[in-house]
Amino acid sequence: MLRRLCTFVAALVVTVTTGAGTAQAEGRADTPTKRVYNAMQFAHPSAPDAFCTIGAVGTDDYGRKIAISAGHCAGGTEYADREIHENVAPVYDRHDFAFGPIGYMRYFKSPEGSMTGHATKDYMVIELVPEVTLSSQGPHLKQTGMVEVPSGAASPNALKPALSNERLLGAGLFDNNELVVSGQSGVWYGRITNNSSGIYQSHAPHQAGDSGGPAVWHVPGSAYPSEANGFRAQGPWAGITKARILGIPPYVYTSSANILADLRARDAADPADIYGGGFEVTANP
């Protein structure tokens, strides 16, 4: 089971800023532009070894720069299940604390008694600061938009009718959907062997600290990561790393469909107040 980034809970009282609005960075006039991308590890300077990983970066319908990760990385309940307008939970690049916060946590789902978060809504929304540059290219994976499954089963979080990107990849006998994932141990791929309400089970492995990290759909006929291509791959964003379970295979992922569906449902109920509403993966190189 992946570790929870409980240090962020302590950080919730560190950098309180009154008022709402876009995340602000201070004192960076002479700081080079910083690129933020999938598979970037984030942590708090007080506990650099308690980290999680970014799954996708892009923008929402309100022009905000957004990163998506796993909700169980936050832990705690004080700020769970609501929009966090205050800059009370800073997010730092684990390998560049000197830059300062790359963003602020804006939403995460309460674990609701589970060590790995709500079954279908285990995600976190981070609003990135204006100074960063979004990139679709991570260390191993290039994300080419978001996976769409027009004929797939709808996410349990979806409004009716569900959008194509809110529908799930099949895992039946005659389905051959595969995930390609990136984490500390490099890049891996594996077939989706089970789909339980948008939680994908796959042979693609991960380890502690990879929570929230990227998974893309392997487009049939496209190259697999290998020594010949520098162990790189590309495909549409399909989900984020969730946990290890007692099962075969033990690796599970939260589908992008579940995240996007819940964001749209919450945004429809409270327009303009939902960070991440209408999220789209960046096309920036």
Which comes out higher in pLDDT, residue 113 or 236? 236
For residues 30-44, average pLDDT: 88
Q: Are both 35 and 66 inside the same structural domain?
A: yes
Residue 224 belongs to some domain of the structure = yes
159 plus 116 within the same structural domain: no
Residue at token pair 């690049």: 93
Query: What pLDDT, on a 0 to 100 scale, did the predictor assign at position 234?
Result: 98
Tokens of 178: 């595969």
Q: Are residues 93 and 149 in the same domain?
A: no
Domain with 251, as residue range(s), is 141-257
**Chain-wide mean pLDDT for the chain?**
89
User: What's the confidence (pLDDT) of residue 270?
Assistant: 93
Q: When comparing pLDDT for 275 and 6, which is higher?
A: 275
145 within domain boundaries: yes
Tell me if 56 is assigned to some domain.
Answer: yes
The verdict on residue 273 lying in a domain is no
Question: Is residue 143 scored above 70 in pLDDT?
Answer: yes
pLDDT in tens, 230-242: 999 999 999 999 9
CA distance 242 to 123: 9
pTM for this entry:
0.90
Say whether both 241 and 208 belong to one domain: yes
Where residue 31 falls among pLDDT bands split at 50, 70, 90?
A: low
d(CA 96, CA 102): 10
Residue 236 has a pLDDT of 98
Do 126 and 153 lie in one domain? The reply is no
Question: Domain check: are 149 and 250 in the same one?
Answer: yes
The domain that holds 25 is classified in CATH as: 2.40.10.10
Residue 77 lies in a domain: yes
State how many domains the chain has.
Answer: 2
pLDDT in tens, 191-231: 999 999 999 999 999 999 999 999 999 999 999 999 999 99
Question: How far, in Å, CA of 281 to CA of 136, rounded?
Answer: 7
Q: Please report whether residue 274 resides in a domain.
A: no
Q: Rounded to an integer, what is the distance from CA 29 to the centroid of its chain? A: 29
Of 86, 102, 134, the residue that ends a domain is 134
Regarding whether 186 and 213 lie in a shared domain, the answer is yes
